C-alpha cells in the first residue's frame, strides 16, 4: 500500500470508528467485534442498535456491515428526500433490500408507510425477515425472496452466502457487475424472479417511491416495464452500475420520457453512481 492510499485508509477507518460511537448505542461491543473480525476472532454475527431505536443483525463481514453505516450514519439516500412532504400513506418498492437497513430506517421514520422488499439471496433474505420481525414491522414491511428482472421465472445469482451487498445476477456465464468479495464462499445458485409489472400487481397500492440497488439488474428491470406502470411513481433513488452494453445516459433518458427527471447525482467513477429522480 502506497503512503497516499495508506493515509486514505487510515482516515476511512477513523471516520468509521467515530460514526460507530455516534450512531450506535452498543458501540463498545461493535468496536470490539469489528476489531476481532480483522484478526479472525470476531463473532460471526453482529447486532447494530441505532440511537433511534432500530435493531438489525447481519453477518460480521465488511460487505454485510456496509449498509448499516450507509443508511444510519451516512444517510446515503437522503431519508428526508425519500419521504418527501406528501400527505397520506406512502407505498415503497425496495429493489435489492439486503438485510433491511433501508426499509427499517424508512418504516420507523414514518408510520403510514408500507414497503415491498425484494431480495433474492436466501441467506440475506433470512436476515431481512428477522430484522423486519425484531423491529415489529411485519404488518407494514413485506419480504419477497425474489430477484427483480425482465421476466417472471428464474435466473442465476452469484451468491456469497454471507449477507454481502455484492451478490449479483449472472448472464451468459458472467456477472452483470464484477464482484469478488468473500473468496471461497461464493457459488452460483438459481433464484426466482419477478418483474416491475408483477410487483405492482401484487402490491396493495401503486408505488409512490422506488429505491433500486440491484447490482446491474436495474437496466433489464426498467426497460422490460411499461412506461404507464411508472405513472404513479413520484420519486426514485437508485444506484446504477457499469454493465456491458448499457449506459446511465440512456436509462436517464428513459426515465425522463416517463416524467421522472434527475434532480441530483453522485458518482466517483464512470458507470457507477447514485441518482435521485422526481416527477
Given 3.40.50.150, 3.40.50.2000, 3.40.50.800, 2.60.40.3880, which CATH number is that of 77-278?
A: 3.40.50.150
Is there a contact between 249 and 224 (Cβ–Cβ < 8 Å)? no
Alpha-carbon distance 158 to 243, whole Å?
A: 15
Q: Which segments of the chain belong to CATH 3.40.50.150? A: 77-278
Mean pLDDT of the chain: 92
| Per-residue confidence band for 87, with pLDDT thresholds at 50, 70 and 90 | confident
Alpha-carbon distance 239 to 273, whole Å?
A: 6
pLDDT given at position 233: 98
Residues 6+ apart with CB under 8 A from 73: 19, 20, 22, 23
Take residue 242 and report the three cell numbers written for it: 457499469
Is there a contact between 48 and 22 (Cβ–Cβ < 8 Å)? no
Alpha-carbon distance 57 to 66, whole Å?
A: 12
| Per-residue confidence band for 150, with pLDDT thresholds at 50, 70 and 90 | very high
The DSSP bridge partners found for residue 154 are 192
Is there a contact between 50 and 72 (Cβ–Cβ < 8 Å)? yes
The H or E element spanning position 144 is strand 141-144
The H or E element spanning position 169 is strand 168-171
- Give pLDDT tens digits for 97-119: 999 999 999 999 999 999 999 99
Least confident range of 82-96, 138-152, 176-190, 213-227? 176-190
Residue 3, pLDDT above cutoff 60: no
Alpha-carbon distance 205 to 203, whole Å?
A: 5
HEC per residue, 10-59: HHHHHHHHHHHHHHECCHHHHHHHHHHHHCCCCCCEEEEEECCCCEEEEE
Amino acid at each position: 500500500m502506497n503512503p497516499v492510499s495508506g493515509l486514505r485508509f487510515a482516515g476511512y477507518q477513523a471516520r468509521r470508528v467515530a460514526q460507530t460511537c455516534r450512531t450506535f448505542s452498543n458501540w463498545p461491543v461493535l468496536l470490539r467485534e469489528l476489531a476481532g473480525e480483522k484478526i479472525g476472532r470476531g463473532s460471526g454475527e453482529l447486532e447494530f442498535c441505532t440511537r433511534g431505536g432500530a435493531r438489525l443483525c447481519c453477518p460480521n463481514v465488511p460487505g454485510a456491515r456496509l449498509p448499516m453505516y450507509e443508511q444510519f450514519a451516512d444517510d446515503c439516500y437522503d431519508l428526508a428526500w425519500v419521504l418527501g412532504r406528501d400527505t397520506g400513506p406512502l407505498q415503497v418498492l425496495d429493489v435489492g433490500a439486503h438485510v433491511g437497513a433501508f426499509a427499517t430506517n424508512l418504516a420507523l421514520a414514518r408510520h403510514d408507510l408500507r414497503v415491498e422488499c425484494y431480495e433474492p439471496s436466501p441467506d440475506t433474505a433470512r436476515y431481512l425477515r428477522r430484522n423486519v420481525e425484531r423491529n415489529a414491522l411485519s404488518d407494514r414491511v413485506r419480504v419477497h425472496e425474489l430477484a427483480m428482472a425482465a421476466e417472471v421465472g428464474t435466473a442465476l445469482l452469484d451468491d456469497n452466502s454471507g449477507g454481502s451487498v455484492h451478490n449479483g445476477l449472472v448472464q451468459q456465464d458472467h456477472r452483470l457487475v464484477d464482484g469478488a468479495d468473500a473468496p471461497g464462499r461464493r457459488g452460483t445458485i438459481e433464484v426466482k424472479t419477478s418483474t416491475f409489472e408483477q410487483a405492482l400487481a401484487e402490491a396493495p397500492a401503486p408505488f409512490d417511491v422506488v429505491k433500486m440497488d440491484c447490482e446491474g439488474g436495474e437496466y433489464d428491470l426498467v426497460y422490460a416495464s411499461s412506461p404507464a406502470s411508472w405513472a404513479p411513481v413520484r420519486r426514485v433513488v437508485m444506484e446504477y452500475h457499469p454493465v456491458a452494453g448499457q449506459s446511465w445516459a440512456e436509462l436517464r433518458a428513459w426515465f425522463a420520457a416517463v416524467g421522472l427527471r434527475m434532480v441530483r447525482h453522485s458518482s466517483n467513477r464512470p458507470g457507477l453512481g447514485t441518482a435521485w429522480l422526481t416527477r
